[in-house]
Structure 1
Amino acid sequence: MLGQQEQAAEPLGTPSEANAIRFLEQATFGPKLAAGASPLPIDSVEYVMAQGITNAITVQLSAPRSTYSGALETRDIGSQFFTNAIQGRDQLRQRVTFALSQVFVVSQTGIPNLTSTPESEPKLAMAGYLNTLSANAFGNFRTLLEAMTLDPAMGTFLDMANNKAFRTNGQAVAPNENYAREMLQLFTLGLHKLNDDGTEMVDAQGAPIPTYTEAHVQAFAHALSGWTYASATGCPTVGRSNTASYAQKMIGCDVNHDSTSRVLLRGVSTTAGGGAAAHLKQALDNVFADPNVPPFICKQLIQHLVTSNPRPAYVRRVVNVFKNNGSGVRGDLRAVVRAILEDDDARGPQAPLAQYASYGHLRSPALFVTTLIRWLNGTLDTVGGTKDPGAKLYAWSSAMGQAVPRPPSVFSYYPPNAPAPGGNGLLGPEFAILDTATVAARANFVHELLYSSTPANAGVLVNVSVLPADSNDLVMWLGRYWLHHTMSSELQLTVFNAITDSRAGDSTRRRKLAVYLTSLSPEFQIQR
């Protein structure tokens, strides 16, 4: 029998409206209503209610994939990102890709633009990187790890490309350790050993146990040496490099690879005399098999999609799926994503009451922007090519501290272990970029969206007339949809008093004021 503070999640096949909305907050770039569309859009509240959570996930898994173009005449990648986030049907794939891009981090600012070529290398590189991420978002983690390791954008960003073990005279030289270190620390294992429930292991003295040593970093750097950019002429001669090229994955060149045996994790060694391709396979297989990978990756995916402080039991259930998808397959991301979204800790009309105080996460700037646009039945007007609405959305998110896809470092926009201010040990990653300036930027964004002509001039169109005109109905509508029936009586009264004040203006201005106050409330800013 459930405890007094617990809540039974609903059957996945018959979700309530509130549960459907919560699901879409976790699985899309913002819930939306069908607004009379027929057939029902697959990312609408009504569709999820009609089809159920399980079927909605299945349909999303096979939705047409949004892609990016690196062609010179196309929009900036940041603009393409936000356009896809608003308009793309593959909402779940995009959300997972966005989460993975904050694990396997590459920043557009870290890609040099070669003046000797007509194209934009940063755009080409990031388009290819994001397309590779999205193509593998529902695949196997081992395949994704290799795809990211050999991605030329990653090769440039973390020095995997042209990382040679020899000088031009054939003298051996220690390879660059940058990619090897970040691959272990940030992409796969983390710094400390974890239990399957995501909690840290400790030694007899109560200290955390490192997952790898400096010797391991050096071993992986040697094992992963010899890779360079693809070229029509193939591999360069010993000690030399190929010019940066972003159209294809990198190629292995044995002439610049250290073929000696190296000791990897758990005492496993690479084969003496092995080539670049053989040693890469051995190195990545070794990492993929490590017991730290499932909890390290699964907890971060839960944080990005559902809640910053998942219960250990929730993490363990998802980790078990990573370790075995039910058919003996390890690393099945499709199964992992489904497990995250179908878990009882994620489902139900509201967060489990026993967890409510620590549940959810601050909406990141990108999600804050897209969620408001999608709830207000927003559209992006690019008629004639003179408007760039995606660029406007990018500018808003950037002002709030999240310039997608330009994270400031390999630690992304914020580290996954950033503490919540005053949270008594709770994590709050998104709070790492919340300060007085970005708080003001959030308010400025909402005000400009609602009250300025510049969004429409840029092609960002929202429609507040979809909201009820009656003040009481308007407050109830926002509580029902935007806060899935969790709006406090204090917030209801604050909004109602404001919009019924004689100075609030006409019906349109009252609607805008209600949206402004609700969207900036802590109750909406924290997605539960």
Structure 2
Amino acid sequence: MKRPIALALAVCATACAPAESASDTPAHAQPGQKEQGAGTLATSEANAIRFLEQATFGPRRAQGTGPLPIDSVEQVAAVGITQSITAQFNAPRSTFDAEATADLSSQFFSNAIQGEDQLRQRVAFALSQIFVVSQNGIPNPQGTPENEPRLAMAGYLNLLSQRAFGNFRQLLEAITLDPAMGTYLDMANNKAFKANGQPVQPNENYAREMLQLFTLGLHQLNEDGTEKRDANDELIPAYTEEQVQAFAAALSGWTYASGTGCPTVGRSNPPSYPAPMIGCDANHDSSARRLLRGQMTTAGAGATRHLTEALDNVFADPNLPPFICKQLIQHLVTSNPSPAYVQRVVDAFKSNGNGVRGDLRFVVRKILEDSEARGSTAPSAQQPTYGHLRSPALFVTTAVRWLNGTLDTTGGKDPGAKLSNWSRAMGQFVPRSPSVFSYYPPNAPAPGANGLLGPEFAILDTATVTARANFVHELLYANTAANAGILIDLNTVPSAPTDLVAWLDHNLLHDTMSADLQLVLQNSLADPRAGDTTRKKKLALYLTTLSPEFQIQR
């Protein structure tokens, strides 16, 4: 068994906070507010860099003399956070192609490096780790004309990106009826009858995971994301086993779309992934069932009406906003948001200002514009507990994008596959999560951190931390990256040691580099064994990207 790491990374959530600054106490920023301390929306470069860390797969500098890219530091600093978010909402959408030569994992990383719709991709990636479908969980029967796991997963990933800025209720229904989800969690062909007409209890798999992982969580929550407790200081379940069975019945009768329509009682349609599933009343439990908060489904209704009632019921539950909003904050900004931060985002989920519940576009904007996310550094009082360990995928893409990485696919090269292999070695094989609990659970603790959450630490051990170092070394020193079509530009990095350290501090650490790390870099670059100018650049990049100060995104 791999032992947990006993390195600085294991405790950096509490021990590696940058020095406090008196100017970092923010007021709650409002759209259009000018920069004052840390509560900024019109932006210094350091604030722009922090925003791009949260809203993209890594900041990058503008190159050349043309128009500034919307995902560049210079553009965000020029137009401010609010306008940058709007531009990202309107960027052309990256998609997945099941028929392409490159695997979906390769396409994911190619889109992450090159796609203009960085925020949409980041939100879709977060959603894919909440509403989990794994490519490994889709069978590929012999004799089928296409690769069914790729076809199913491409459609599912495209669904998430398409609806990333839509309404949560519509997203929940689209996910529920997606054939990839239908296969993965047994929603498809979930029949209430055998072929002879004998009633059977419908499969509870999707209903259970929908309640536990996709909408409510296990325990009742306050609106600020903290857990409720009863008079005996015990956690209160968010739902009961009887309610799981009620949802399973209400969601029964759905099958894969087919040119022949619905099957007869007890029969199933074969897997088909291009279209949403269809409701078949012949295999649906039409009885009235008690859902959450005492609400009943309509006796004698069909599959479509019961699905609408079930999803409306869970969408209206008070547990849903804090459960979903806290996870979105964790994926984009920080693993341990304050209850006040969660509450503000929950308020946005409950109403977008026009009485609309579940407007994800509004929710994402509120997450990124919040005072706890904005400014050149994290709020002073929160710095010891702020941020999150960069997940393997984000660690790879951020390093490549900072070095103006470009991907060359000529001559049969597949740079996305190389990027994917690096992430896989670190414990994150996109889009093949090992279970419905994703790559790591959202409530995983940070080791040795006194109860703080650190989800990404769940896949950090002696093997994967070594893989992180191997990735950076291979990217900078080996020929394999370039041979695979991953081209980085070290000319973006200054040559003079003093300028080099300042560049790394300003860009990779948004002006928060500790005196200890500065001293390590200065001494290393002054050592005669450091080599020529190019090797000194690589050495400084290697040491900085592997430092806890960079590994923890703040």
TM-score (norm 1): 0.98
| Distance change >3 Å, CA 265–CA 20, structure 1 → 2 | same
Q: Measure the CA separation in 1 of the matches of 2:205 and 2:363.
A: 29
Higher relative contact order (CA 8 A, sep 6+): 2
Tell me which residue corresponds to 1:77: 104
Q: Measure the CA separation in 2 of the matches of 1:458 and 1:226.
A: 47
Shifted more, 432-441 versus 73-82: the winner is: 73-82
1:37 Cα deviation (Å)? 4.4
Q: Measure the CA separation in 2 of the matches of 1:35 and 1:5.
A: 32
1:485 Cα deviation (Å)? 0.3
Tell me which residue corresponds to 1:22: 50
Q: Measure the CA separation in 1 of the matches of 2:190 and 2:76.
A: 48
Q: Measure the CA separation in 2 of the matches of 1:84 and 1:200.
A: 37
Tell me which residue corresponds to 1:206: 233
Tell me which residue corresponds to 1:106: 133
Aligned residue identity for 1:346:
A
* Secondary structure of 1:208's aligned partner: coil
Question: For 2:490, which of 460, 464, 467 is the aligned residue?
Answer: 464
Tell me which residue corresponds to 2:310: 283
* Secondary structure of 1:173's aligned partner: coil
Question: For 2:288, which of 251, 257, 261 is the aligned residue?
Answer: 261
Q: Measure the CA separation in 2 of the matches of 1:275 and 1:324.
A: 31
Q: Is the 8 A contact 1:259 1:275 kept in 2?
A: yes
1:5 Cα deviation (Å)? 8.5
Q: Is the 8 A contact 2:418 2:481 kept in 1?
A: yes
Tell me which residue corresponds to 1:414: 440
Structure-to-structure mapping, 1:59-208, within 5 angstroms = 59-71=87-99, 73-208=100-235
Aligned residue identity for 2:427:
G
| Distance change >3 Å, CA 39–CA 85, structure 1 → 2 | same
The structure 1 segments of at least 4 consecutive aligned residues displaced by more than 4 Å after TM superposition are: 3-6
Question: For 2:503, which of 455, 461, 477 is the aligned residue?
Answer: 477
Aligned residue identity for 2:173:
E
Q: Measure the CA separation in 2 of the matches of 1:111 and 1:188.
A: 23
Tell me which residue corresponds to 2:469: 443
Q: Is the 8 A contact 2:110 2:416 kept in 1?
A: yes
* Secondary structure of 1:49's aligned partner: helix
* Secondary structure of 1:397's aligned partner: helix
Structure-to-structure mapping, 1:360-371, within 5 angstroms = 360-371=387-398
Q: Is the 8 A contact 2:24 2:377 kept in 1?
A: no
Question: For 2:259, which of 224, 232, 242 is the aligned residue?
Answer: 232
Q: Deviations over 1:335-362 (max 9, x none)?
A: 0000000000000000011000000000
Aligned residue identity for 2:317:
D
Tell me which residue corresponds to 1:425: 451
Q: Measure the CA separation in 2 of the matches of 1:371 and 1:137.
A: 22
Q: Is the 8 A contact 1:29 1:95 kept in 2?
A: yes
* Secondary structure of 1:103's aligned partner: coil
> Does 1:56 find its partner at 2:84?
yes
Q: Measure the CA separation in 2 of the matches of 1:434 and 1:228.
A: 40
Q: Is the 8 A contact 2:41 2:374 kept in 1?
A: no
1:465 Cα deviation (Å)? 1.9
Q: Measure the CA separation in 1 of the matches of 2:76 and 2:360.
A: 22
1:325 Cα deviation (Å)? 0.5
Q: Is the 8 A contact 1:308 1:359 kept in 2?
A: yes
Structure-to-structure mapping, 1:493-512, within 5 angstroms = 493-512=519-538
Tell me which residue corresponds to 2:60: 32
* Secondary structure of 2:237's aligned partner: coil
Q: Deviations over 1:69-120 (max 9, x none)?
A: 111x431110000000000000000000000000000000000112121210
Aligned residue identity for 2:507:
Y
For structure 1, list consecutive stretches of 5 or more residues without a partner in the other structure: none
Q: Is the 8 A contact 1:68 1:127 kept in 2?
A: yes
Q: Measure the CA separation in 2 of the matches of 1:217 and 1:352.
A: 41
Tell me which residue corresponds to 1:8: 26
Question: For 1:372, which of 383, 399, 408 is the aligned residue?
Answer: 399
Q: Measure the CA separation in 2 of the matches of 1:358 and 1:23.
A: 19
For structure 2, list consecutive stretches of 5 or more residues without a partner in the other structure: 1-20, 28-34
Q: Measure the CA separation in 1 of the matches of 2:247 and 2:136.
A: 26
| Distance change >3 Å, CA 314–CA 33, structure 1 → 2 | same
Q: Is the 8 A contact 1:24 1:43 kept in 2?
A: yes
1:35 Cα deviation (Å)? 2.1
Q: Deviations over 1:198-251 (max 9, x none)?
A: 000100001111010000000000000000111111111110111111101111
What is the number of equivalent residue pairs in this alignment?
524
* Secondary structure of 1:465's aligned partner: helix
Tell me which residue corresponds to 1:489: 515
1:500 Cα deviation (Å)? 1.9
| Distance change >3 Å, CA 130–CA 513, structure 1 → 2 | same
Q: Measure the CA separation in 2 of the matches of 1:457 and 1:245.
A: 38
Q: Deviations over 1:157-210 (max 9, x none)?
A: 000000000000011011110000000000000000101100001000011110
Q: Is the 8 A contact 2:215 2:314 kept in 1?
A: yes
Q: Deviations over 1:448-504 (max 9, x none)?
A: 001111111111111112100101110110001000000001101101211221111
Q: Is the 8 A contact 2:341 2:372 kept in 1?
A: yes
Q: Is the 8 A contact 1:300 1:416 kept in 2?
A: yes
Question: For 1:387, which of 386, 391, 413 is the aligned residue?
Answer: 413
Q: Measure the CA separation in 1 of the matches of 2:466 and 2:42.
A: 40
1:6 Cα deviation (Å)? 5.4
